[in-house]
Amino acid sequence: MSTALNKQPQLGPQRLPMHAASQTKGLEMERRLQALFPDCVNEAVDALLTTLPVPHRRLERWKYAAVNGFWAECARSQTQTLVATALDPLPVPGLDAYRLVFVNGRFDAASSSLPVAEGVTCMPLSDAEANGREKRILTDMERTDWFAALNGKYATDGVFLSIKDGVVLDRPLVIHQRQEGVGNPTFLRHSIHLGKHAEASVVVWSSSSDDASGFVNTLTTGAVGEGATLRLDKVQDEPGTVHHLAMESIDQAASSHFRIQTATIQGLWVRNDLAIALNGAGADAVLNGAFLPNKSEMVDNHTTVDHRMPHCTSSESYKGILYDKSKGVFNGKVFVRPDAQQTNAYQQNANILASREAVMNAKPELEIYADDVKCSHGCTIGQFDDDALFYAQSRGIGEAEAKSMLVHAFIADILDGFAVEEVALEVRHRLAEKHNWNRWDDPSDN
Amino acid sequence: MLKINQLKASVEDTPILKGLDLTIGPGEVHAIMGPNGSGKSTLASVLAGREEYEIGGGTVDFDGQDLLDMDATERARSGLFLAFQYPVEIPGVSNINFMRAALNGKREHAGLEPIAGKDFLNLVKEKASLVELDGKLRDRSVNEGFSGGEKKRNEIFQMAMLEPKFAVLDETDSGLDIDALRIVANGVNSMRSPERSFLVITHYQRLLDYIVPDFVHVLVDGKIVRTGGKELALELEERGYDWIKEGVVS
Amino acid sequence: MAYDGKDKVLEEVTAKAYEFGFTTDIESDKAPPGLSEEIIRFISDKKNEPEWLLKWRLEAFEVWKKMEEPEWPHLNYNKPDYQGISYYAAPKQKKELGSLDEVDPELLRTMEKLGISIEEQKRLSGVAVDFVMDSVSVATSFKAKLGELGIIFCSLGEAVQEHPELVKKYLGSIVPTKDNFFAALNSAVFTDGSFCYIPKGVRCPMELSTYFRINESGTGQFERTLLVADKGSYVSYLEGCTAPQRDENQLHAAVVELIALDEAEIKYSTVQNWYPGDAEGKGGVYNFVTKRGICHERSKISWTQVETGSAVTWKYPSCILKGDHSIGEFYSVAVTNNAQQADTGTKMIHLGRNTRSTIISKGISSGRSQNSYRGLVQIMPSAENARNFSQCDSLLMTDTSGAHTFPYIEVKNPSAKVEHEATTSKIGEDQIFYCLQRGIDAEQAISLIVNGYAKDVLNQLPMEFAVEARKLLAVSLEGSVG
């Protein structure tokens, strides 16, 4: 035997085993996509699609999220002309915001209202790429994950938003992604560039018709300049059998701020995949999310926070309540690279199993290569506090109501963190509607 | 005992001590007072050998030895004790074992055998009664979960155990109620002897009612600007520091 | 200032040489390197094994040939050349041993060098010791005394001959041959190990202990431990490991199976001090071990490990909590220094109702080492009211080492309560300075602080072992720490 090598281990997944049957299914899907989108060409992605393993259960990243549904959805996909629907372009009533609406991955100009302001450039990504403002650069995510790589090739449109140094977007920008019809494959790519000390609040709202199917694959890339602030509110509210994969790849410069709040209201299969790179000293990132799946829904929150530079902080809190036969996954990874001294990283995942058949899988990970750091994570899986329930009931509060109060208390801090208050309010209403809570305390009542 | 000559020290390139002179004879008790940020705690840390401080010049003679040439452990074993302003918690390490290691380190330095178990326990019992430190605190982890007063009493207990030649009390009175203050002061007073000297760093005159100093120095901006008897402390209490600062400027 | 920082102090305190790196000059019976059906038949024949066991080995070998070495651990090493290892090396002995007095005096000296003077232990602590050298058990003390209580404590080879019904019933029942690559390899080629059976209702009056040692160059050690605690019995079992200092990497692929029948309790403690390789990462033992126990109703298995040795460690002592009200515990201190790598932790599989598990893991990384905790807590649908608490802390001594935490938490029953906490921090400079100011030198200060940090785990060890473990922690961290 020879000597063990002792070089610095590589960060991230090192070995990616392939699974022959999945590989075949992946290639079938790709062929079908090619037929549906003959104009999509990307040789770099093609190379990746043949060398990367197609997701399967033995790939660490996909251990807990089965992807079979994608093959089925894709098999019934069809090219179809869109039927005009009575779509409310703005999912949040009364919100004063800019909006870009996409239906099945296509830009709906008539329903949209783009910002026009000094220092702000906003247009559909297809236009930005056509006029040379934006060049498609593959992210690390696409280079390491097969499903992500698909986006690099098949994303037909999305939002291009660029804000100059020191400019603050005066109103939230709502990106409304609507899924309709049978088996439609949707690929969207949003590209956000914030100059130094610029600020923007962006809401990405996904909705679908009740009978919608197919899948949605979105990738949001964010380049947050020095001292800039990007707030992202992400809401997923898709009935039907839509499979939703939402990826965010964020690159933060020194002293920048990034905050993402995710609320998964409904969706048969939802996976959020976040990769945050803290690329400048003093940057901070906040990642929060709440998910309340029921029936046989599956929600997977996957996060990677990569501390590359010193003096950065990250804080993460994901909370889930799982009803019926639903499944939840949390996989949070914090990397602290050798140079990232004085890192402060916090990660928390708390879950309540509200039914006999619900399942939660959690994998909070720390990978630390610097010593002067404060990193911690905590993870709990349990049930509603019986004492609290009983206490409430003994005061004459019904069980359902008591539980809704406890739910409210459990996820209140996540909902309070939304950048746009109206969005948080709407999320509350929709959650109450989904779970038949007859009463949901408005925070202003408290 | 201790002779500090033109001592200069800085932390992260910020000069804090700017040429400090101080001589402490055997058996003397000196008090150093001064406004916030004048360098009081820096002086304590520098004397104890804390490595974050850069020595920019000057000498410190400790009983004939070059103090600045010794590392923190050597200083401690040679008889220098610092009662910390914020005593450190060390989870899982019992107070007793901690003291045994410290005492035996000192004995080793003096060419003595480690102390016998029974003698050690008797010594602990004797010294603990000095500061009314009960048995439970002795067996608990070092300072972990101690109240502010308990921590300070533990510092004095450790001082009594190690019987230093020279002790620096860094704001030992901060956060103490009047009873704890009395206990701490009694502990210190009982250790006063013609061979042992003290440097008491404090913000308030109150402590000096209990531990009566021979000399009081005022530290402003890294230098001692005024020296007097114990009555100087009273004057400072009454008039504050501004009149001295003004005096320095003019 | 003369005291210009911990780094200097630490540089000065240069790495203490591995104390146990002597070799024992004993003639040994050694098979040629390589793994084949012939070699397995040779081993089986040497051990005079029954046909069923040979068959079992050959099946395991067939399975192994189709398996791949695991790639998922956070480890980076050159895979062993499995055909370059000699799979059998027995110290040559003239005949069956009647008592300890007949053991080769050279061997006894080896044991003494290891600090296990069997004679001493006999008199003072009453620990029964089984000594396994290069996979062959050479001495079991206290046999007669234990025999009076009906306790069987002997080498596995002997058990195969004398208690075949017990061995046949339990061997491979917890770690099946196809469980994993290393377990399959072990099943095919294991040469010896310890066997222990505690009869119903018997409380074993002394600690049972096995010392493992790899002696021969170019050999691997593949021992197997099988421990059965019958209903209502209790046993505390200790395991220690050393190996000589060699430039090549030696492979240790062991299997430990524990069976705790109803209301039995097994306490299994390990102090692992295989040769870790030199400061540059040359040599050292590859420690790829499968340890697993099953708990029947109201029984308890408690694993305690202090891992300081080995170049590469891959080890997850686990509990299958099958019986209702059963309890699994895992207490671990893993220290890595220089170029060592460890990927260790546990699996707690909750199947029974009201099952409880506790995991306390303390990792300490120094030098350029990489230290990972990997653990699985699985609550199956049948495990009503299961409870788990996990605490995984990492302490970093240097800015060139790594500390990683990979917990897997899978809950399929809503009445479960699972809590996991993890922290990573640097050794406290304030704490070191406080010690220094009290006249405690840097090395001792680190030892104090680390021992305090690991106290919850060290307290789980039996007395004699705890002392040894404390010393080992101090030695392992010498010359490295900040």
- Does C91 reach chain A within 8 Å, measured CB to CB? no
Q: How far is B176 from chain C (nearest CA, A)?
A: 21
Residues in contact with C323: Cβ distance below 8 Å, sequence separation at least 6, in sequence order = C262, C295, C296, C297, C298, C299, C352, C355
- Identify the pLDDT of residue B189: 93
The tokens 């060890």 sit on which residue? Answer: C461
pLDDT, tens digit (0-9, with 9 covering 90-100), for B6-41: 999 998 889 999 999 999 999 999 999 988 888 999
Per cent of chain C over pLDDT 90 is 45
- Chain C 233-272, CB below 8 Å of chain A: which residues? 248-251
Examine residue A328 and state whether it is found in any structural domain, yes or no. Answer: yes
C-alpha to C-alpha distance for B187 and B156, rounded to whole angstroms: 7
- Does A170 reach chain C within 8 Å, measured CB to CB? no
C-alpha to C-alpha distance for A273 and A201, rounded to whole angstroms: 20
- Does A13 reach chain C within 8 Å, measured CB to CB? no
Q: How far is A8 from chain C (nearest CA, A)?
A: 8
Give every strand in the sheet of B2-11, ordered side by side: B14-24, B2-11, B53-62, B65-66
- Encoded tokens for C233: 């019995």
Helix (H, G, I), strand (E, B) or coil at C371: strand
pLDDT, tens digit (0-9, with 9 covering 90-100), for C292-305: 999 999 999 999 99
Examine residue A424 and state whether it is found in any structural domain, yes or no. Answer: no
Put simply, the answer to whether B51 touches C428 (Cβ < 8 Å) is no
Put simply, the answer to whether B55 touches C434 (Cβ < 8 Å) is no
- Does A58 reach chain C within 8 Å, measured CB to CB? no
Q: How far is C415 from chain A (nearest CA, A)?
A: 7
Q: How far is B249 from chain C (nearest CA, A)?
A: 32
Residues of C in contact with A362 (CB under 8 A): 407-410, 420
pLDDT, tens digit (0-9, with 9 covering 90-100), for B38-95: 899 999 999 998 888 899 999 999 999 999 999 888 899 899 999 999 888 888 788 8
List, as one string, the DSSP characters of B172-220.
TTTT--HHHHHHHHHHHHHH-BTTBEEEEE-S-SHHHHHS--SEEEEEE
Among A358, A366, A378, select the one facing C404 at the smallest CB separation.
A366
Helix (H, G, I), strand (E, B) or coil at C276: coil
What's the CATH number where B18 sits? Answer: 3.40.50.300
- Does A339 reach chain C within 8 Å, measured CB to CB? no
Among B90, B103, B105, select the one facing C431 at the smallest CB separation.
B90
pLDDT, tens digit (0-9, with 9 covering 90-100), for B211-233: 999 999 999 999 999 999 988 88
Q: How far, in Å, are B158, C234, C306, C387 from residue C301 at the CA level?
A: 42, 10, 17, 15
Helix (H, G, I), strand (E, B) or coil at C58: helix
Q: Which domain holds residue B76?
A: 2-249
C-alpha to C-alpha distance for B144 and A158, rounded to whole angstroms: 56
Examine residue A396 and state whether it is found in any structural domain, yes or no. Answer: no
List, as one string, the DSSP characters of A128-179.
HHHTTS------HHHHH-HHHHHHHHH--B-EEEEE-TT-B-SS-EEEEEEE
C-alpha to C-alpha distance for C408 and A329, rounded to whole angstroms: 11
Put simply, the answer to whether B98 touches C437 (Cβ < 8 Å) is no
Put simply, the answer to whether B48 touches C437 (Cβ < 8 Å) is yes
Residues of C in contact with A364 (CB under 8 A): 405, 407, 420, 422
The better pLDDT of the pair C85, C415 is held by C415
Mean pLDDT score, C383-398: 93
Q: How far, in Å, are B57, B202, C221 from residue B1 at the CA level?
A: 20, 21, 63
- Identify the pLDDT of residue C346: 96
Residues of A in contact with C397 (CB under 8 A): 371
Instruction: Please report how many Cα atoms fall inside a 13 Å half-sphere around the Cα of residue A65, on the Cβ side.
Output: 29
- Identify the pLDDT of residue A441: 46
% helix, strand, coil for chain A, step of 5: 25, 35, 40
- Does A387 reach chain C within 8 Å, measured CB to CB? no
Q: What is this structure's pTM?
A: 0.82
- Is C431 a residue whose pLDDT tops 80? yes
- Identify the pLDDT of residue C8: 39
pLDDT, tens digit (0-9, with 9 covering 90-100), for C120-161: 444 333 445 566 655 555 555 667 778 889 999 888 888 999
C-alpha to C-alpha distance for A36 and A77, rounded to whole angstroms: 9
Q: Answer whether A137's CB lies under 8 Å from A193's CB.
A: no
pLDDT, tens digit (0-9, with 9 covering 90-100), for C160-215: 999 999 999 999 999 998 899 999 999 999 888 889 999 999 999 888 877 766 66
Tell me which of C434, C443, C455 to substitute to probe the interface with B (most B C-beta atoms closer than 10 Å): C434
C-alpha to C-alpha distance for A218 and C409, rounded to whole angstroms: 28
Examine residue A403 and state whether it is found in any structural domain, yes or no. Answer: no
* Beta carbons within 10 angstroms of residue A256's beta carbon: 29
Q: How many domains does chain A have?
A: 1
Residues of A in contact with C398 (CB under 8 A): 371
Put simply, the answer to whether C399 touches A341 (Cβ < 8 Å) is yes
- Does C357 reach chain A within 8 Å, measured CB to CB? no
C-alpha to C-alpha distance for C20 and C240, rounded to whole angstroms: 12
Examine residue A347 and state whether it is found in any structural domain, yes or no. Answer: yes
Mean pLDDT score, C405-425: 93
Examine residue A274 and state whether it is found in any structural domain, yes or no. Answer: yes
| pLDDT category of residue C29 using cuts at 50, 70 and 90 | low
Neighbours of chain A (3+ CB pairs under 8 A): C
Q: Which domain holds residue A67?
A: 2-387
C-alpha to C-alpha distance for A326 and A332, rounded to whole angstroms: 20
- Across A122-136, A426-440, C93-107, C391-405, least confident range: C93-107
Q: Answer whether C415's CB lies under 8 Å from C386's CB.
A: yes
The amino acid that residue C115 corresponds to is G
Put simply, the answer to whether A1 touches C402 (Cβ < 8 Å) is no
**Mean pLDDT estimate for chain C:** 82
- Is B188 a residue whose pLDDT tops 70? yes
Tell me which of B81, B90, B95, B98 to substitute to probe the interface with C (most C C-beta atoms closer than 10 Å): B90
Examine residue A411 and state whether it is found in any structural domain, yes or no. Answer: no
- Encoded tokens for A422: 């109206």
* Beta carbons within 10 angstroms of residue A310's beta carbon: 18
Tell me which of C4, C427, C438, C456 to substitute to probe the interface with B (most B C-beta atoms closer than 10 Å): C438
H or E, element range at C8: helix C6-12
Q: How many domains does chain B have?
A: 1
- Is C471 a residue whose pLDDT tops 50? yes
C-alpha to C-alpha distance for A419 and A226, rounded to whole angstroms: 20
Put simply, the answer to whether B72 touches C437 (Cβ < 8 Å) is yes
Examine residue A400 and state whether it is found in any structural domain, yes or no. Answer: no
C-alpha to C-alpha distance for C130 and C124, rounded to whole angstroms: 17
Put simply, the answer to whether C424 touches A354 (Cβ < 8 Å) is no
Give me the total of CB pairs closer than 8 Å, taking one residue from chain A and one from chain C: 165
Residues of C in contact with B72 (CB under 8 A): 3, 433, 436-437
Among A362, A376, A381, select the one facing C416 at the smallest CB separation.
A381
| pLDDT category of residue C104 using cuts at 50, 70 and 90 | low
Report the DSSP beta bridge partners of residue C403: A368, C371
Pairing of strands C312-315, C341-344: parallel
**DSSP-assigned letter for residue B105:** H
Q: Which residues of B touch C (CB under 8 A)?
A: 48-51, 53, 55, 68-77, 81-82, 84, 87-93, 97-99, 101-103, 105-106, 109, 141-142, 158, 162
- Does A379 reach chain C within 8 Å, measured CB to CB? yes
- Is C481 a residue whose pLDDT tops 50? no
- Encoded tokens for C253: 């692929």
For chain A, which ranges sit under pLDDT 70? 1-16, 77-87, 391-393, 396, 438-446
List, as one string, the DSSP characters of A215-251.
EEEEEEEEEE-TT-EEEEEEEEE--TT-EEEEEEEEE
